[in-house]
Structure 1
């Protein structure tokens, strides 16, 4: 089996200020080439500050991007030397914190002034930052403000609980969301509104991401063992899901940042 290697330029940074209930990671990516970087769907939303540092480290350009929840693979076309600092929201929290409808951003990336107009983020300190550390701190401070004021209502709380149970359920087991008092159709609607993706798609994405983490670890002896451990019904099912969410097969995985 081939191990799925993660590109070196992507790292997750220490996060001591942001609320772990709503924020999954603070991350940084530095483009070392002009080749498109594969981005795998993970069901999350990311608020990203892109910048171009000069040789002395001073930023010559800063712009914002908001990546919506995706159920398709995408690519990042970056400039060599471009640095991106991002905040990844937990599934179901991005739209609530940012004041946008996740479904409207499905498989889309909002860029530039539209991000400022459509969200509650105070963008001035981010856009005026002159160094990467200052940019990171400004982004963290801005997200800290919006997460502190985010208050999920009862239906959103129910969706968040269902998503959390789905993520915690052992691979292959029937998902915990069926235990809720709400009718399955109501709960599926709540999850769609909160996360911007159908619950079934979310389950497939989580299964795919788990399989990619196992591939990266290189501990599976066969594709059949990988399919079983990741929660697929069989190897053929895993191959279909890899083609859907990654555009490749598990026997020939491509390098991409992997959540978790």
Structure 2
């Protein structure tokens, strides 16, 4: 499997976290792979093979939006697949596309961004990945220039990410120069979720990434670093989002079974 990430231009700062490309051969399958929750929403273009949500006979179209998840999502894939994706912050992606927000894990798109599928497929099939990324970048810059994303959301989101999801809602509101009530209303309108919901996912993402890369990390110390009340609090929240304990996740990561 090949995975590469690319930084967006400065003009997309606070809206797009990165662009990424992935290539994998799942064989004649279908093979299961697990999408773990994190603090991002992604616009996914895929080429070559097919993928679907486990236990659903309908293949996923390209593109689709992978929204915020509260638990792991199992996908089935087969054959060789290549993926190009736009990793967005959840408080900006729906405003960027001019779509209503929602809590669906997977959003099927009926949007002009789907017009990128054919030219991107041509680039991918001929190995011109940099050209494909440039097409996506230019599209994002074009729609960004035409959209007024509330600066309050950008400030709030930046504060949440900087604090790794551990900042209380009142402090997030202060960082965004807003009242809690106004911030919560606008945040839910833009993302479909509350500030607390997204903060919880951001914090879980930090814990997951740490254990993924450093499975010998001390859990009590990690809980303190990320602002959990104690190790038991970390364990409850980790199991809530991942379906497994942090210790079990770390053991799998150590054996090279990370997903």
Q: Does 1:122 align with 2:115?
A: yes
Cα deviation, residue 165, structure 1? 0.8
Look up the match of 2:64: 65
CA change 1:248–1:32 in 2 (3 A) is: farther
* Distance in 2 (alpha carbons) for counterparts of 1:47 and 1:132: 22
Cα deviation, residue 240, structure 1? 1.5
**Is 1:18–1:140's contact at 8 Å kept on the other side of the alignment?**
no
**For this pair of structures, how many residues does the alignment match?**
234
Unaligned runs of 5+ in 1: 1-8, 54-61
Cα deviation, residue 216, structure 1? 2.4
Look up the match of 1:83: 82
Tell which has more relative contact order, 1 or 2 (C-alpha 8 A, sep 6+): 1
Q: Does 1:178 align with 2:170?
A: no
CA change 1:182–1:163 in 2 (3 A) is: same
Give CA-to-partner distance per residue, 1:39-94, whole Å, 9 cap, x none: 112232212221117xxxxxxxx942222233332122211322222121133221
TM-score where L is the length of structure 1: 0.76
Q: What pairs with 1:79-158 in structure 2 (closer than 5 Å)?
A: 79-103=78-102, 106-110=104-108, 115=109, 117-123=110-116, 124-129=118-123, 131=125, 133-134=127-128, 137-138=131-132, 140-150=134-144, 151-153=146-148, 156-158=150-152
More helix by share: 2
* Distance in 2 (alpha carbons) for counterparts of 1:28 and 1:216: 20
* Distance in 2 (alpha carbons) for counterparts of 1:85 and 1:169: 29
* Distance in 1 (alpha carbons) for counterparts of 2:38 and 2:205: 7
Q: Specify the SS of the correspondent of 1:77.
A: strand
Give CA-to-partner distance per residue, 1:190-236, whole Å, 9 cap, x none: 11122232111111111101111221232754221121122211112
**Is 1:120–1:146's contact at 8 Å kept on the other side of the alignment?**
no
Q: Does 1:49 align with 2:48?
A: no
TM-score where L is the length of structure 2: 0.76
Look up the match of 1:206: 202
Q: 2:188 aligns with which of 188, 192, 205?
A: 192
CA RMSD of aligned residues (A): 2.9
**Is 2:45–2:64's contact at 8 Å kept on the other side of the alignment?**
yes
Unaligned runs of 5+ in 2: 50-60
CA change 1:38–1:174 in 2 (3 A) is: same
Q: Specify the SS of the correspondent of 2:19.
A: strand
Q: Which moved more, 1:132-141 or 1:162-171?
A: 132-141
Look up the match of 2:53: none
Look up the match of 2:57: none
Q: 2:6 aligns with which of 8, 11, 14?
A: 14
Q: 1:218 aligns with which of 197, 214, 218?
A: 214
Q: Which moved more, 1:79-88 or 1:126-135?
A: 126-135
**Is 2:20–2:85's contact at 8 Å kept on the other side of the alignment?**
yes
Look up the match of 2:159: 165
* Distance in 2 (alpha carbons) for counterparts of 1:173 and 1:97: 25
Q: Specify the SS of the correspondent of 2:77.
A: coil
